[in-house]
Amino acid sequence: MFEDVLTAVIAAGCAGLVYLAGAARVVKQYERGVVLRLGRFAGGVRSPGFTMIVPFVDRLYKVNMQIVTLPIPAQEGITRDNVTVRVDAVVYFKVVDAANAVIQVEDYRFAVSQMAQTSLRSIIGKSDLDDLLSNREKLNQGLELMIDSPAIGWGVQIDRVEIKDVSLPDTMKRSMARQAEADRERRARIINADAELQASRKLAEAAQQMADTPAALQLRLLQTVTAVATEKNSTLVLPFPVELLRFLEKAQHPAQAAPEPPGALANGTKPFAPPARATASEAASVTPVRAAADAASIDPEAEAGQ
């Protein structure tokens, strides 16, 4: 009799352990438990920790409440200005209502992924290429609103959407490179022209200052000669000022003057000096009257001395 009771107690204890093992559940801190009892929602969401369910009657679904990083595959589309591009993005979302995430949608991850892909293709068709390249913040906000609207009913909240990369055709890349090069060349030419204008103004002021002070031009010449002379392999060409040449020309005039006529002889008579030969032009200009007057003016004493 005692053995039968002991056996029944042991059997009941084993059955209790089996039931406890089948009913005991542990929900982690970043999870929430949703219990469906005979296919119906059993009430509130189970909080993290140890919890019990009815074996073979209840079914516990654990929902991850962490932020999920979901990459969106690259979508090919045509922008509003007829440029074919491939754009990929990434979506950050989390579950805020575990019951709706289990009951309202079959697979909330797959649903968010499909909604993100369709929204990305739609935003590509509504945007220009310049917006995709430079105004991504605005596009990210618009894409976030497009995905978040239907996701609210699924118990999912979209935390952030980011466009990662925009792939362009090779021809478009070359065209953009040529455009950027032309723009930089235009700015370089404008800067050079502005520099030339400023330099010309400064040179005009310097020329005016040197014109007012001639000594400044001589000092500038000496500075230039000093700067050129520092290079041993340079050929130095030194220009002479016009004033120096004129000074040398004036210095040569006294040396080339005509010799003085000889003095009188001992007897008081003048030595004979032959008349200078007239040039062809002067001889042609002498008239017979002028020749006779010259002959009459000859000194008789000079003739007697001869």
- What tens digit of pLDDT does each residue of 154-178 get? 999 999 999 988 888 888 888 888 9
For the chain, what is the largest distance between any 2 Cα atoms, rounded to a whole number of angstroms? Answer: 203
**Using CA atoms, how far apart are residues 75 and 166, in angstroms rounded to an integer?**
10
For the chain, residues with pLDDT lower than 70 are 1-2, 231-242, 244-245, 247-248, 253-306
**Using CA atoms, how far apart are residues 145 and 276, in angstroms rounded to an integer?**
119
Is this structure's pTM higher than 0.75? no
Amino acid (one-letter) located at 303: E
In this structure, the dihedral spanned by the alpha carbons of residues 7, 13, 18 and 19, taken in order and rounded to 10 degrees, is 130
Return the DSSP state at 232.
T
